[in-house]
Amino acid sequence: MRTLAQSVRDLAAGTSSRSLVEECLARIQDPSGEGRRVFLKVHADQARAAAHYVDTMRRQGAAPSRFAGIPISVKDLFDVAGDVTTSGSVALRDAPVATRDAAAVARIRAAGLIPIGRTNMTEFAFSGIGINPHYDTPRNPYDRATGRMPGGSSSGAAVSVADGMAVGALGTDTGGSCRIPAAVCGIVGYKPTAKRIPTDGVLPLSFTLDSVGPLAPTVACCAALDAIMAGEEAEDTTPFRLDGMRLAAPQTVVLDEMDSTVAGVYAGALSRLSKAGARIVDIPLTELSGIASLNRRGGFAASEAYAWHHKLIEAKGALYDPRVLVRIMRGKDQDATHYIELMHARADLIHRVAAISSQYDALVMPTVPIVAPSLASLEAEEQFRSVNLLMLRNTTIANLLDRCAISVPCHRGGDAPVGLMLVGEHGADRRLFSIAAAIEQIVSPGPSVS
């Protein structure tokens, strides 16, 4: 994988943006690769034209930023001017084309980054597995012979980065959709504090929980993309001091049903951090045990998705992925009383957890409790449902608490990818990047730059 930092150095040393774009396009178009499953649309001509423009500007010292000319993929949930935003569905194929870019896309363009194409995803972003029956499912870069799930919903986004088809990716995260695919594909995925990055021009799943986040090879890559999308200066991230860092490791719920691989890798990561000076404190955090009950009727995602989808379902429900449709339809049975009770219960949970977590620099836990299973093992509906809930269980905590969170690889190079999730306080996004940068140096295998 090529990192943003490597690309910036190469561009400063005279490498052309056109060559970076052609390198990514070659991987996308490789007939033996995953490009046809990863991208629903490739903006090859537009990317080449944009690269030529950036190269011309850079030669004259007028490039809009040091990141100008770097190719980025865009999840098929974002409006891109001139494209139809299908959200991984066939039900929206005949929708009007977008007349303007989503706010996040407009900001990356303004910084000179180049959208190279639209990536595949779980239909309407409603699953942590990443399966798409309409456009096929991108295969996880790890153990392609077996054909493992890529994680969702930003499945194509993660694989586009892991396979070097883009240097970074724009994704969304409502219950883990940036962090889950990042964890199982061996890259970094970030979920900002919701509403910090505007969701204008992003097809919604849950307007309460939706957030826009990056997927990329390293913490520094994600920090830069996040800053650009948040309208901030993309400054270099200074790692937090490990000596004296206080990490709280919850013992309730988040460690249940871990497979032996994740359990071993997670324990090893915590051990390495402890030896490096971090203080890791096991805490009960029994408050997490009530989250499943809180979401028993489908939670915010089902109710708010149904409110957006119900008219489209009346007209084109037969075109929906049945596994997605059944989850949206759970929102039909929620009434105003249920919804208001959920709002109050969430506010109470946020308050109670904050009183505990504020004593620490971050919460730490496995991003997901199992390594990516094979796609074949998920064909049975009961197994799909069970694995989907397991994939979403830990990550959705940060969304419900309205926190920032990041998944950092913590496996050994060449082994099955495992993610270490860090959850920061509400609004403490830049601080969490600093903490994650320090932890990454200890636990991550590091990207293989090519």
Catalytic residues: 75, 153, 177
Picking from 74, 56, 73, the residue whose alpha carbon sits closest to that of residue 17 is 56
Please report, to the nearest 10 degrees, the dihedral formed by the alpha carbons of residues 309, 312, 317, 318 taken in order: -150
Angle at the Cα of 80 from the Cα atoms of 87 and 200, rounded to 5 degrees:
75
Task: Please classify residue 85 by burial: count the beta carbons closer than 10 Å to its beta carbon, then call 0-12 exposed, 13-18 middle and 19+ buried.
Answer: buried
**Radius of gyration over alpha carbons of the chain, in Å?**
20
Strand 362-366 to 246-250 pairing:
parallel
Backbone conformation region of residue 102, classed left if phi is above 0, alpha if psi is from -120 to 50, else beta: beta
Q: What is the distance between the alpha carbons of residues 122 and 5, in angstroms, rounded to a whole number?
A: 30
- Measured distance CA(296)–CA(316) in Å, rounded: 27
CB-side neighbour CA atoms (13 Å) of 312? 19
Q: Which of 405, 417, 415, 406 is nearest to 440 (CA)?
A: 406
Helix-then-strand count for the chain, H and E:
15, 11
Look-up: residue for tokens 């990561």? 269
- Contact between 300 and 342 under an 8 Å Cβ cutoff? The reply is yes
Alpha-helical segments (H) within 246-335: 260-275, 291-294, 299-316, 322-329
Q: Which two tokens stand for residue 164?
A: 């070097």
Q: Cite the beta strand spans of 351-393 per DSSP E.
A: 362-366
User: What gap in Å lies between CA 211 and CA 187, rounded to an integer?
Assistant: 19
Indicate the helix (H) or strand (E) that contains 281: strand 279-283
Cα 430 to Cα 226: distance, rounded to the nearest angstrom: 9
**Angle (CA) 72 450 264, round 5°:** 90
CA triple 228-230-236, angle to 5 deg: 50
Euclidean distance between CA atoms 393 and 179, whole angstroms = 12
CA distance 270 to 305: 38
Structure tokens at 239: 């790692």
